[in-house]
Each structure stands twice: as structure tokens, then as C-alpha cells.
């Protein structure tokens, strides 16, 4: 299955990046470069979704990017992950 959630990226004064997923509570990421931050965002999103699916708590609705309020030096990017679910998984 493919999951795509919006992520907020912020460039810090030292040139590194950090960010979060507004819809995925506590799902944070960072990186020395934008590419590193994107890769970390993918890994964190995948882990967050995997845990939620294993706990069968359900996934949050996906926010419309236009509804996400951005701060200074922040920008939005949709981050997509592909999960190969185990055979017999009931959704």
C-alpha cells in the first residue's frame, strides 16, 4: 500500500533541516541536508505507520496541504512511503 502524508520542513540557521508530520503525532525527522531530511522523513513515516497498523489503532486522515499553517522558513512537501503488508492482513 502507498501512504502519502504532508510533512513540514524547516531550514535551521546552521543550514540543517528538521520537520514533522502534522497528521502523525510525534513523528519528527531531521537531516544535515534537505536530502537527508527527506530520507529521514520517509523512514520515520514508514515506522510510524507500521506501528499504527500493527496496533490496529487506525490511521489519521490526511490533511489538505492548503490547511497546514506554516511558520517562517517552513515549507510543505508530501512524503510517500510504500509498505508491503503481510499476507492475510485485514484492513
pLDDT digits (tens, 9 = 90+) for 8-61: 999 999 999 999 999 999 999 999 999 999 999 999 999 999 999 888 888 999
**In this predicted structure, what is the pLDDT of residue 16?**
98
Domain for residue 32, yes or no? yes
Domain harbouring 6, CATH code: 3.30.160.250
- Distance, in Å, from the CA atom of 45 to the CA atom of 53, rounded to the nearest integer, reads 12
Q: Is residue 90 part of a domain?
A: no
Q: Is residue 61 part of a domain?
A: yes
The answer to the question of residue 16 being in a domain is: yes
Q: Tell me, yes or no, whether 91 lies in a domain.
A: no
Domain residue limits at 55? 2-82
State the pLDDT confidence band at 78, using cuts at 50, 70 and 90: very high
Q: What is the pTM of this model?
A: 0.88
Is there a domain that residue 87 lies in?
no
Q: What is the pLDDT of residue 81?
A: 96
Number of structural domains, the chain? 1
Amino acid at each position: 500500500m502507498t501512504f502519502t502524508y504532508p510533512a513540514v520542513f524547516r531550514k535551521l540557521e546552521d543550514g540543517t533541516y528538521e520537520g514533522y508530520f502534522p497528521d502523525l503525532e510525534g513523528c519528527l525527522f531531521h537531516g544535515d541536508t534537505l536530502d537527508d531530511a527527506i530520507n529521514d522523513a520517509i523512514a520515520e513515516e514508514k515506522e510510524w505507520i507500521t506501528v499504527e497498523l500493527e496496533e490496529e489503532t487506525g490511521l489519521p486522515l490526511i490533511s489538505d496541504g492548503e490547511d497546514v499553517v506554516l511558520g517562517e522558513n517552513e515549507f510543505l512537501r508530501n512524503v510517500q512511503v510504500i509498505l508491503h503488508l503481510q499476507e492475510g492482513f485485514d484492513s
